[in-house]
């Protein structure tokens, strides 16, 4: 009721004109250079934050699960990851502006204590790199939460058998652990991509309209005063639904393959 009906409403609206008549004009309008550019930058930001977040999250998860650290480190990391993976929107945007904005705490400390002006070096919190960095705050913890059970599923007998056969730790991870974790890793990358692709509150609060990603363009078409064209907005939403739908299908497929290995 709360998922299928709104989705159907958007899909039907994408193929209607303001008079309610069937049309492909809204879909054709998606191929405008400005809209294609918005999709492209959204895909780039989502892909960058997904890959970096997945690699960093995997390293953290391996360290806390298989690194021989005290038990409290794992429980604390998992608790923090569960909270941070859901911390987004205006509070997250404000936190990063207060930390890495032009007058942010870290920006001022780096400038006054170490003589490093990150903005003079080309960094800008209101840019592609700034938004990607902000997304990593919830992408990395989400990766930790999702991949930790897969790492737990690596049987110790496999490591013992590899060691008995003379394999080093590097060989065990390269030839046994990584191939087993690979479907889970790829599936989680796809899920992180979908998670970032649909995010709007953080991006809108952080960059406003200075970064033309698809969710912000969609918001402008449906709620804006100047660019308002609800049916084009529905078409934009339809395109996002298609991309995230493909991402979720790939995630389910990778997840099924990984579960076969870990049974």
3-state secondary structure of 22: strand
- Torsions phi, psi for 188 (to 5 deg): -70, -35
Q: Which residues of 242-254 are buried (b: 16+ CB within 10 A; e: fewer)?
A: ebbeebeebbeeb
CATH match for 40-216+249-262 among 3.30.910.20, 3.30.365.10, 3.40.718.10, 1.10.3720.10: 1.10.3720.10
The separation between CA 107 and the C-alpha centre of its own chain, rounded to angstroms, equals 25
Q: Give pLDDT, residue 256.
A: 80
Question: pLDDT category, 91, cuts 50, 70, 90?
Answer: confident
Which of 184, 197, 192 has its CA nearest to residue 253? Answer: 184
Per-residue pLDDT of 209-258, as tens digits, reads: 677 888 888 887 877 655 677 888 888 889 988 988 888 888 888 878 77
**Where are the chain's structural domains?**
40-216+249-262
Question: Is the pTM for the entire model greater than 0.75?
Answer: yes
């Amino acid at each position: 009721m709360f998922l299928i009906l709104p989705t159907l409403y958007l899909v039907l609206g994408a193929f209607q004109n303001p008079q309610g008549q069937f049309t492909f004009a809204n879909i054709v309008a998606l191929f405008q250079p400005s809209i294609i550019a918005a999709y492209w930058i959204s895909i780039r930001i989502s892909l960058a934050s997904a890959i970096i977040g997945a690699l960093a999250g995997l390293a953290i998860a391996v360290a806390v699960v298989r690194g021989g650290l005290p038990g409290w480190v794992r429980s604390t990391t998992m608790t923090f990851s569960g909270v941070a993976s859901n911390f987004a929107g205006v509070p997250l945007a404000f936190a990063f502006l207060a930390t890495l904005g032009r007058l942010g705490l870290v920006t001022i400390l780096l400038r006054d204590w170490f003589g490093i002006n990150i903005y003079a070096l080309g960094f800008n919190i209101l840019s592609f790199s700034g938004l990607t960095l902000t997304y990593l705050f919830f992408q990395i913890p989400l990766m930790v939460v999702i991949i930790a059970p897969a790492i737990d599923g690596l049987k110790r007998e496999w490591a013992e058998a590899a060691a008995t056969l003379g394999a080093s730790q590097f060989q065990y991870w390269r030839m046994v652990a990584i191939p087993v974790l690979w479907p889970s890793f790829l599936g989680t990358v796809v899920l992180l991509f979908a998670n970032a692709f649909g995010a709007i509150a953080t991006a809108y609060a952080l960059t406003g309209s200075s970064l033309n990603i698809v969710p912000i363009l969609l918001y402008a078409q449906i709620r804006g005063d100047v660019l308002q064209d609800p049916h084009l907005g529905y078409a934009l939403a339809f395109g996002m639904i298609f991309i995230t739908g493909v991402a979720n299908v790939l995630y389910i497929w990778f997840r099924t393959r990984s579960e076969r290995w870990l049974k």
